[in-house]
Amino acid sequence: MKVGTLLSCQPYTITPGAEKVRIFEAEPKGCLFMGEVSETQDNDDVFYTGADIDMSLKTGIELRNKAFKHNANVLVFTPRSTANLAKAMPATAEKKDKSSDGKADPKSDVVPEPQKSALELAKPAHTVFLGTVFRCPPLIFNQ
């Protein structure tokens, strides 16, 4: 019998009862607004494609825990705008070693470094996820 260990597993603490918090795509009708919650995510271990950054499992659990602490049973994520992310991306300027006649200098000893794409340079260090939380009667869940 082989026993394997998972070194990369990290335990996340789920507040008892927070697992019952439901995620809705839009604000529910007939529910009591309980407040807003937010969580800042460190993006070091999150895959980035240049679009929206995905929420990590840890961030999702923390948002559910916070919703539960607000006595809420529904969590609705606030949509993020990709336009704001695009504004934060640095402009990349292409630099070339040129001589006075406008052609590349073949005698140059400068070895160009591999260029990173704008997407690699623009990955934000942190992302803030926001959500609104509601207390809904059980009838809302059964519709």
- Could you tell me the residue ranges of all domains in the chain? 18-78+119-143
This prediction's pTM:
0.62
Integer-rounded Cα Rg, in Å, for the chain is: 23
Nearest to 27 by CA among 64, 70, 79, 88: 79
How far apart CA 95 and CA 50 sit, in angstroms, is 23
Strands, DSSP E only, in the chain? 22-24, 32-42, 74-77, 126-135
Give, for all 143 residues of the chain, the pLDDT tens digit: 444 444 456 678 899 999 999 999 999 999 999 999 999 988 877 777 766 778 888 999 999 999 999 999 999 998 764 444 444 444 444 444 444 555 555 565 665 555 555 545 567 788 889 999 999 998 776 65
Q: Could you tell me the strand order of the sheet in which 22-24 lies?
A: 22-24, 74-77, 126-135, 32-42
Query: Under CATH, to which class is 18-78+119-143 assigned?
Result: alpha beta
Nearest to 20 by CA among 65, 70, 60: 65
